[in-house]
Amino acid sequence: MPGIKTAISLEENLFNQVNQLANELHVSRSKLFTLAVKDYLKKQEGKKILAQLNAAYGDSPSKEENVISKAMKKKQRKIAEQESW
């Protein structure tokens, strides 16, 4: 896929660090920026998914759910006590 050229402004210190890392990795600056942006986007997507999971599972059980849970534990305890271990 053909790339799209863009221009960005960087602080000189950051530009020097990018050049040094690109040289160490034997890749162009463009490739390094592409890798960095892809990694950043993947991390942001992970954060979104985590936030959605936290929202879905972060609520406390309702009173009814607590009652059911306690009843289930009581039944399971009785069943376990009847087993010959």
pLDDT in tens, 62-76: 899 999 999 999 999
In the predicted model, is pLDDT for residue 1 greater than 90? no
pLDDT in tens, 2-33: 889 999 999 999 999 999 999 999 999 999 99
Task: For the full predicted model, state whether its pTM sits above 0.75.
Answer: no
- Average pLDDT on 30-45 reads 97
Tokens of 12: 């000189």
pLDDT in tens, 47-56: 999 999 998 8
User: Would you state the pLDDT for residue 21?
Assistant: 98
Q: Determine the Cα angle at 44 with ends 38 and 54, to 5°.
A: 150
